[in-house]
C-alpha cells in the first residue's frame, strides 16, 4: 500500500519527533495532541520540550503545511492510511502499565479509521496488549490491521536515533502491513541527509537493520531492551559499591570489562542510578507482566532495588567521607534525568536534592534546561539557583547529578573559588578526578 497521509496520536517525545521527521519525507502528517498548550506550541512551529534540532525540523514542516497539529481524531484519522499511536503509558501505583490512553486512542480511532488502514502501536505496552487490541478491532467490524513498531529513541538524541536507527522492529500477522511500515522507515532513511542538515545534528552510520517479527515478539523486544540496559546500569552500580569497599575504580573496571566486544562499554556508567520516563516504568512494567504469567523476575527486582538505593548511597558515601552534613551547605547541579533534556521524570538529581533536605544544613539546586520542570518536584526548602556560579557560591559541597557539559567543563579553580576546601561529589562519575585531585580538590566519585 502507498502511504500519503499519516496520523500520529500523542505528540510527546516519540510522537512529535516521529511526526516532524515524517513530514519531511513527502507525507502529510497529522500530529494529534489533546493538550492545548502543547498544541499551541507545535502550531507555532516549536516543541514544548527541549530536544536538539527538533525545533528547526518542526518549523519547516509546519510552514510547509506537511505537518498539521490538531486535537481532532476526526480531521486526522479519517484521512490517514496509517495511524501511529504514541500516547503515554504511565505506571500505576502497583508498577503495572496504565493502558487507559492506549485503549482510549484505539476506541477513538476506530470511529474514524477507513477500511484497509493500519494501526501501529509505538507506545510501550506489556506483551499481549496487541492481541487484545486486535480483538477490539475485530469487534468494530472494520478491516484494519494492527502492527507493533516499538520505539528505541533516547531523549536528548531523539532525532539522531530516529534517523540513524540501529534497528527498526515491526511485528504483526499481516505481511503487507508490516512491509508498508518498513517502507515508511526506508523512505525516512532516504531523506536522512536532508534532515540532518536542517536539524544540524551529527551525521550517523548507515548500518540500521530492518527486522520483522511476530506481534508478541515485537512487544517483548521493546521492554526487554530497556530492561537489559537498566540491568547493565544496576550491575555497574553494584560493582561500584564493591569498588568503594575494595579501593578499585569502577570506571577503570568498566573500561576494561567493556572493551570485551561481547559485553560492550555502553550503559555501564555507575553513579546515582537511572531515571527518566522509561527505564523505571518499563522495569516495573516487565516485572508486573511477568508476575501475571506466574514468572518471578527476581533479576529485575534486584536491579530495581539497587537503583532505588543509589541516591541514598551517594549521600551515605558523602557522609562517611565528610561526616555529619547538618551544618553543610550543599548544592545539586543537574535536575534533568540526564543531560540534553529538560525532562525531570524520576530524576535522580531531584531525588538526591530532596533526600539532602533531611541531612544537610541548606540545599541549593541548578539545571541549565530543566529549572521550570524541576520546580514543582523539589522540596520548598531547596533554593533554586539561576546559574552555576550562584549555585556553587557559598556551598561547602557540590554534587554533580547530571552530566551536562556545562558542569563537566567547570575547572578546578572555578570549583575552589571562594572556598578551597569545597567538596565535589561526582554522582555521574564523569569528571576528571585525577586533574581535580592534583589541583587539591576533595573529590568523591561513586565506586572510585
State the minimum distance, in angstroms, from the CB of residue 229 to ligand UGA.
6
Find the binder of ligand UGA among 275, 311, 349, 368 (CB under 6 A). Answer: 275
Q: Tell which phi-psi region holds residue 285, choosing left (phi > 0), alpha (psi between -120 and 50) or beta.
A: alpha
Which residue number, 210 or 267, has a Cβ lying nearer to ligand UGA?
267
CA distances from 299 to 180, 230, 281 (A): 38, 11, 16
State the minimum distance, in angstroms, from the CB of residue 345 to ligand UGA.
9
Residues 145-184 that bind ligand UGA (CB under 6 A): 151-155
C-alpha cell at 50: 527541549
What distance, in Å, lies between the first and last C-alpha atoms of the chain? 56
Task: Return the SS3 of 167.
Answer: strand
Which segments within 247-390 are labelled E, that is strand? 329-333, 362-366, 382-384
Which residue number, 48 or 267, has a Cβ lying nearer to ligand UGA?
267
Largest CA distance in the chain: 73
Q: Is 278 a catalytic residue?
A: yes
Which residue number, 185 or 337, has a Cβ lying nearer to ligand UGA?
337
State the minimum distance, in angstroms, from the CB of residue 231 to ligand UGA.
11
C-alpha cell at 87: 500516547
Task: Return the SS3 of 89.
Answer: coil
Find the binder of ligand UGA among 20, 278, 290, 303 (CB under 6 A). Answer: 278
Find the binder of ligand UGA among 27, 274, 407, 415 (CB under 6 A). Answer: 274
Residues 215-244 that bind ligand UGA (CB under 6 A): 226, 229, 233
State the minimum distance, in angstroms, from the CB of residue 146 to ligand UGA.
20
Under rule CB under 6 A, residue 340 binds ligand UGA? no
CA–CA separation, 5 and 83 (whole Å): 9
Total of residues contacting ligand UGA (CB under 6 A)? 20
In whole angstroms, how large is the CA radius of gyration of the chain? 23
Residues 47-106 that bind ligand UGA (CB under 6 A): none
Under rule CB under 6 A, residue 253 binds ligand UGA? no
CA–CA separation, 32 and 18 (whole Å): 12
Find the binder of ligand UGA among 48, 103, 210, 267 (CB under 6 A). Answer: 267
CA–CA separation, 98 and 416 (whole Å): 47
State the minimum distance, in angstroms, from the CB of residue 49 to ligand UGA.
12
State the minimum distance, in angstroms, from the CB of residue 389 to ligand UGA.
25
Q: Are 61 and 6 in contact (CB under 8 A)?
A: no
* Burial class of residue 75 in the structure, from the number of CB atoms within 10 Å of its CB (0-12 exposed, 13-18 middle, 19+ buried): middle
Find the binder of ligand UGA among 5, 18, 199, 269 (CB under 6 A). Answer: 269
Residues marked as catalytic: 278
Binding residues for ligand UGA, per CB under 6 A?
A: 124, 151-155, 226, 229, 233, 267-269, 271, 274-276, 278-279, 337-338
Amino acid at each position: 500500500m502507498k502511504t500519503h497521509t499519516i496520523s500520529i496520536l500523542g505528540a510527546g517525545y516519540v510522537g512529535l519527533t516521529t511526526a516532524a521527521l515524517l513530514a519531511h519525507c513527502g507525507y502529510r502528517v497529522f500530529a494529534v495532541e489533546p493538550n492545548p498548550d502543547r498544541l499551541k506550541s507545535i502550531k507555532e512551529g516549536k516543541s514544548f520540550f527541549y530536544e536538539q534540532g527538533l525545533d528547526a525540523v518542526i518549523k519547516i514542516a509546519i510552514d510547509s503545511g506537511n505537518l498539521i497539529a490538531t486535537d481532532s481524531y476526526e480531521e486526522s484519522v479519517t484521512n490517514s492510511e496509517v495511524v501511529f499511536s504514541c500516547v503515554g503509558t504511565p505506571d500505576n501505583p502497583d508498577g503495572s502499565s496504565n493502558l487507559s490512553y492506549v485503549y482510549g486512542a484505539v476506541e477513538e480511532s476506530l470511529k474514524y479509521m477507513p477500511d484497509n488502514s493500519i494501526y501501529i502501536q509505538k507506545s510501550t505496552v506489556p506483551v499481549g496488549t496487541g492481541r487484545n487490541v486486535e480483538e477490539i478491532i475485530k469487534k468494530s467490524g472494520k478491516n484494519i490491521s494492527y502492527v507493533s513498531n516499538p520505539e528505541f529513541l533516547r531523549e536528548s538524541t531523539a532525532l539522531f536515533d530516529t534517523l540513524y536507527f540501529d534497528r527498526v522492529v515491526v511485528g504483526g500477522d499481516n505481511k503487507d502491513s508490516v512491509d508498508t511500515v518498513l517502507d515508511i522507515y526506508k523512505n525516512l532513511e532516504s531523506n536522512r541527509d536532508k534532515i540532518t542538515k536542517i536539524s544540524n545534528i551529527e551525521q550517523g552510520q548507515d548500518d540500521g537493520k530492518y527486522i520483522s517479527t511476530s506481534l508478541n515478539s515485537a512487544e517483548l523486544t521493546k521492554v526487554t531492551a530497556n530492561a537489559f540496559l537498566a540491568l547493565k546500569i544496576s550491575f555497574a552500580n553494584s560493582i561500584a559499591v564493591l569498588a568503594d569497599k575494595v579501593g578499585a575504580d569502577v570506571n577503570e573496571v568498566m573500561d576494561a570489562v567493556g572493551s570485551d566486544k561481547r559485553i560492550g562499554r555502553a550503559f555501564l556508567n555507575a553513579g546515582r542510578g537511572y531515571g527518566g520516563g522509561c527505564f523505571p516504568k518499563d522495569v516495573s512494567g516487565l516485572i508486573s507482566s511477568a508476575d501475571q504469567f506466574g514468572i518471578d523476575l527476581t533479576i529485575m527486582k534486584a536491579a530495581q532495588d539497587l537503583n532505588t538505593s543509589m541516591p541514598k548511597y551517594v549521600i551515605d558515601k558523602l557522609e562517611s567521607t565528610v561526616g555529619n552534613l547538618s551544618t553543610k551547605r550543599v548544592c545539586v547541579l543537574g535536575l534533568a534525568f540526564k543531560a540534553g533534556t529538560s525532562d525531570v521524570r524520576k530524576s535522580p538529581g531531584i531525588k538526591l536534592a530532596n533526600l539532602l533536605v533531611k541531612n544537610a544544613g541548606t540545599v541549593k539546586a541548578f539545571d541549565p534546561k530543566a529549572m521550570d520542570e524541576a520546580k514543582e518536584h523539589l522540596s520548598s526548602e531547596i533554593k533554586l539557583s539561576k546559574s552555576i556560579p550562584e549555585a556553587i557560591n557559598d556551598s561547602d559541597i557540590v554534587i554533580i547529578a547530571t552530566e551536562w557539559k556545562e558542569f563537566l567543563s567547570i575547572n578546578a579553580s572555578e570549583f575552589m573559588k571562594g572556598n578551597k576546601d569545597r567538596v565535589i561529589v561526582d554522582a555521574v562519575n564523569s569528571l576528571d578526578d585525577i586533574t581535580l585531585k592534583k589541583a587539591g580538590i576533595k573529590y568523591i566519585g561513586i565506586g572510585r
